[in-house]
Amino acid sequence: MVNLRPYLVTFILMMPLLSCEIPAEESPNPTPGLIDSEEISFQIDTLYTRLENPWAMAWLPDGRMLITERKGEILVFEQDEFIGERLEGLPEVFNVNQAGLLDLVTHPDITENGWLYIAYAKVVEGGGATAIMRFKLDGNTVANTEELIVTAPAHPGGRHYGSRIIFDNDRYLYFSNGDRGNNPQNAQELNNSHGKIHRIYDNGQIPEDNPFVNVPGAIPSIWTYGNRNPQGLVYDREHDRIWEIDHGPKGGDEINLIEKGNNYGWPVITHGIDYDGSIISEKTEKEGMEQPVHYWDPSIAPCGSMLVTSDQYPEWKGNLLIGALAGQHINRVELDGTSYVREERLLQGIGRVRDVAQSPDGFIYAITEGSGLLIKILPED
């Protein structure tokens, strides 16, 4: 049987998606086969073409891959093929605009404890609230559910939910939560959960050394504040570093190095303007507020991100790969320690890249909105 996947990918890459104009010199190779990037040559294998609003990917110890759909579903894949099944028993989600079922990760010790974690918009009085839940699986059925934390206050809209989950080497869980859009000042106030990165134990308890535990009125789970809409959160296990990818306004998307108790400035300082062209702030810096390691203007609308650690792509090792929604590409960022060096835009026009992830066997996958793709990047042998 002829493998039509490369031809399907080529067709999609040449489609004008969402009125995105792609300069010919920046387009991927228009013929099936190798795509030449600055560092490596690779092929893309299209594994699935019917995603709607995917958000995250995760792999189970038995080899199954799970993909979340924002409307409240988790699709099940085996050996890179969708098997037509979805997890059963998931909680109801507040499926409004950007809110719904969002991130999915496995516990670093899942082979011993069986825990999976989701970030989702929970239906609560007054609208929705970001919640973190953990559960185990009995086949494809969700079991042993435990709700770990629910953010406050509730919000009737569906904008700026974040939301990503990571674990560090000490098994602390961090999750990102957006400012909700209507009141950016949320991000500067410690008496609400919004516009923050949070840190909890893997069972939901609050660590005693969180920076604002003893501040009267502060939400005790807060780790950092002044974040806008952090749709990317990446942990560098080798160097014990957290990278946050903040989805900015019109311009002002940021890469931030996340450190305990820091204020990242939103909306007091920003390198962007509002969507209607109005000024959000005249200031781009202020004492006591952190500067981004890098920012984009114009915006690429960054989302799910990862750090390449795989030997499958030696030339990309240590690079950040960042999904771009407005830019409809994968953004490869080279770093020198904690400093930005340069970037390359891969697969321009492939669709709104919602997440990029590395499988346990070291291959890179991406999922897109609009074009609805699950793809796998295959380096040249």
pLDDT digits (tens, 9 = 90+) for 275-288: 999 999 999 999 99
Quick check: 24 pLDDT over 80?
Answer: no
Instruction: Give the CATH number for residue 213.
Output: 2.120.10.30
CB atoms within 10 A of CB 125: 6
- The amino acid occupying position 216 is P
**CA–CA distance, 187 with 254 (Å, rounded to integer):** 15
Banded pLDDT at 8 (limits 50, 70, 90): very low
146-185 pLDDT per residue, tens: 999 999 999 999 999 999 999 999 999 999 999 999 899 9
Banded pLDDT at 381 (limits 50, 70, 90): confident
Quick check: 28 pLDDT over 60?
Answer: no
The reported pLDDT for the residue numbered 33 is 82
Over residues 112-124, the mean pLDDT reads: 98
Q: Which residues contact 356 (CB under 8 A, 6 or more apart)?
A: 304, 305, 306, 321, 322, 323, 330, 364, 365, 366
Residue of 27 and 273 predicted with greater confidence: 273
- 12-16, 215-219, 254-258 — which is least confidently predicted? 12-16
Q: If you ran DSSP here, which 8-state letter would residue 113 be given?
A: H
What dihedral angle (degrees, nearest 10) is formed by the CA atoms of 353, 366, 119, 54? 60
Question: What percent of the chain lies above the pLDDT cut of 90?
Answer: 91
318-372 pLDDT per residue, tens: 999 999 999 899 999 999 999 999 999 999 999 999 999 999 999 999 999 999 9
Residue 297 contacts residue 274 (beta carbons within 8 Å): no
Task: Just list the catalytic residues.
Answer: 160
Q: In the chain, how many domains are there? A: 1
Average pLDDT, the chain: 92
Quick check: 198 pLDDT over 90?
Answer: yes
**CA–CA distance, 278 with 255 (Å, rounded to integer):** 23
The reported pLDDT for the residue numbered 166 is 98
CA distances from 88 to 34, 101, 135, 235, 262 (A): 39, 14, 12, 30, 40
Quick check: 4 pLDDT over 90?
Answer: no
Q: What's the domain range around 68?
A: 5-379
The reported pLDDT for the residue numbered 32 is 55
Residue 295: alpha-carbon gap to chain centroid:
17
Quick check: 109 pLDDT over 50?
Answer: yes
Number of H helices, E strands in the chain: 2, 25
What pTM was computed for the model?
Answer: 0.92
The reported pLDDT for the residue numbered 338 is 98
Query: Which of 33, 1, 42 shows the shortest CA–CA distance to 332?
Result: 42
Tell me phi and psi for residue 11, to 5 degrees.
Answer: -60, -45
